[in-house]
Chain A
Amino acid sequence: MTPSIVTLRGVEKAYRRGRTAVMALDGVDMAVEPGEVLVVVGPSGGGKSTLLNLVGGLDRPDQGTVIVAGTEVSAASERALDAFRRKHLGFVFQFFNLLGTLSARDNVAVALAARRGRSWAEARTEADRLLAELGLGARAEHRPAELSGGEQQRVAIARAVAGEPDLILADEPTGNIDSAASEAVMSLLVTLNRDRGVTLLIVTHDLALRRHATRVLEMVDGHLSG
C-alpha cells in the first residue's frame, strides 16, 4: 500500500484575537493519497487556510503531528523546512503573489533555480518551455502588472509546477479571477494532476470547484468532515 503523501493526526491550532483564543483547527485528522485531487470547502474563517499553512510548513501546530512526503513538518527546523518546500511543494495563492519586479519568465526561473539548482540560463529556457505549455509563451517578457488576473494565476501555476513537486497546495486559486479564467485555471491544474501525477490539495469556498475533485472534505469551525 502506498503511504499517504499528507498525514495529519490530532492537529490543533489556535490564534489569539485580543484576549480571546480562536480555535482554527480542533483535533483534525486527515490523509491525502498520492495522485489525489482533494478539495476542502467551507466558509471563510473555518480553518481552511490554516490547514494549508500547516501542511506547507508555513506555520506550526499547537498540538498534533503533520507529516508530508515523509517529513514531519510540525517538528522540522526552519532550514529543513526550506529544503522540504524546495523539494516537495508547489504553492498557488489567491492573490498570485508573483514577484512584481520580475517578468513572468523570471518568476518561473527563480523557482527552477532555487528548487532544482538550475543555472540561470537553463532555468530561463525551461521557464519559457513551461509557459508555452500553459499557453503563456507570448507573455513571458511581461511583468505581473501587465498581465490579467487569469494570466497571473497561470504564471503562478507554472511557478508551482516548476521543479516537479509531489504536492501542490492551492489556496482559493480562483478566488480573485473571473469565471472563465477560473475554469481555465482549474482545467490546467487537473491536467497537471492527470499528466504529471502531481497531488493537489485545494482549499476554497467556491463549491463549483468540487466537480474537479477526486475527493471533497468540508471544514467548518476547525472540524473536518467527509
Chain B
Amino acid sequence: MITLRLAVTDLTADRMRSLVAIAAIVPIVVAHLVLVAVAGTLAAAPAGAGRTLVLLSTNPLDPSTGRLDDGILSDAVEAGGGAVVSATPLIFKPVKIGEAIFQLRAAPMAAWGPDLGLTLLEGRLPEPVADEIAITEGVASATGWRAGDVVEIFGTRFTITALVRAPGTKFASMWMSLDRADRLFEAAGTFQMATLALDPPAEPTTVRDAVAAAAAGRYSVYFENEITDLQAAGLQAASDLSILGTIIGIAVLAFGSFNLTAIALTERAADLGVARVLGVSRRSLTAFAAIRSMVLGLGGYLIGAALAVLYISRQGTTTLRSFVLSPRLDASDLAVAAVVTAGAGLAGAWLATWRAGYRPPRALVEGR
C-alpha cells in the first residue's frame, strides 16, 4: 500500500512528465489494436462451400469468349447422376474504378437469392433486361455509390437499383442479370463459370470425379472452397503480414515500456540510491517501479484502446483493392492488449530495476 501511494505521489508530482509518458504509449496501443483488427478480418475470409462444384471455362478471363454453354452445362448435370440439385451459369469480369478493382458478376435473377445467397438491403432488384445493376456494401463503401445513382461501366450507363449483401465472398462486387451481361459482352449465350449445388446425401468427391470425367477438355471442375482458397492466397499473405505486424507491435510496446521505465529510473538514480541507503529493499524498489510503470501503461492503454475502438467503429467496412474488410475488435482482443501492455510494463520495470539494483548504492547516490 505504501509502495502504491509512493508511486502515485511520484507520478502526480510531475504531471507533465507522466502525461508525456502516457502519450508515448497511446500510439503504440492504437497501432497494435488496429493491426489486430485488420488481421482478424483478413483471417476470417470465407472458405466457401465444400459441397458446391465450380465449372470453369478453359478461357475464364474474357466473357466474350466464354467456352461454357447450356449444352455443356446439361452434360455436367447429367454426369452428376441426379446429385446436382441446381446449376447456375455465371459471367464475371474485373472492373477498375479509381484505385479499386471490383468484380462484375452476372447470373440468372432467379438464382440470386436461393443459390447465390444475395440479400437485398436497400432499393429493389434490377430488371433483367434493363440497364440496371446492384452493388454490394464493399462497392458502396469504396466508391460512395448509392441506390439511384447512374454510373458508367464498360461504356454503358447503368442505374444502381439495389444495395445487396453477398455473404459467400469477400470481394466487392456489382451484379447484373445474365441476360444483360450476355448483351453487354456479346457472349452469345456462353459463360465462363457455373456452380453446381449438390444434394446433401451425395458423396461430393465421387460426383466431382464423375463431372470431371465428362469434361472432355471443355471445362475444369473444382470444389468452391478450393477456388476461394486460391483467391484468398494473397489475402492470407496479407493476414500473415498483419500478424507479423501485430507481433512487432507487441515488441515495440514491450521495448517502449522498458525504455520509458529505464529512462525514468536512470534519471532517478540518486533517489534509488538514497532509498537503498535508507534500507529499502530491491524488491520494494521493483514494486515501486512496477506500479509506476503499470499506472502509466494502463493509462496509455485506456486512452489508446478508446481511440482505436472509436477509429475502427467510425471506419466500418472498407475496401482494400477488391477485398472487403470489416475490422472488428472483440473483448478478447482488448483483454490481450491490456495484458500485453501491463505485462510489458512489468517486464520493463523489473529489468530496469534489476539493472539499477545491482549497482552499488554509493554509485547511485553519487549519480554515477
Contact = CB atoms under 8 A, between A and B. Distances in A.
Given A97-B270, A97-B365, A82 B9 contact: no
Contacts of B280: 82, 86, 110, 114
A106 B271 contact: no
Contacts of B365: 58, 93, 97
A87 interface: yes
Nearest to A120: B2
Residue of A83, A89, A100, A123 with most chain B CB atoms under a 10 A cut-off? A100
A45 B365 CA distance: 18
A58 B271 contact: no
B10 A58 contact: no
A219 interface: no
B16 to A, nearest CB: 13
Q: Sort chain A's interface into a size bin.
A: 20 to 34
B360 A58 contact: yes
B365 to A, nearest CB: 6
Contacts of B1: 119-120
A101 B278 contact: no
A59 B279 contact: no
Interface in B271-289: 271, 273-282, 284
Interface string A74-89: 0000110011111101
Interface in A151-182: 159
B361 interface: yes
A115 B276 CA distance: 11
Contacts of A87: 279
Contacts of B281: 79, 82-83
A56 B284 contact: no
A186 interface: no
B2 A86 contact: no
Pick the most buried of B14, B357, B361: most chain A CB atoms within 10 A of its CB. B361
Interface in B351-368: 357, 360-362, 365
B13 interface: yes
A9 to B, nearest CB: 21
B188 interface: no
B273 to A, nearest CB: 8
A99 B278 CA distance: 11
A18 B361 CA distance: 22
Interface of A: 53, 56, 58-59, 78-79, 82-87, 89, 91, 93, 97-102, 106, 110-111, 113-115, 119-120, 123, 143, 159
Instruction: Please give me the 9 A-B residue pairs with the lowest Cβ-Cβ distance, nearest first.
Output: A86-B279, A101-B13, A58-B362, A85-B279, A114-B280, A97-B274, A58-B361, A120-B2, A59-B362
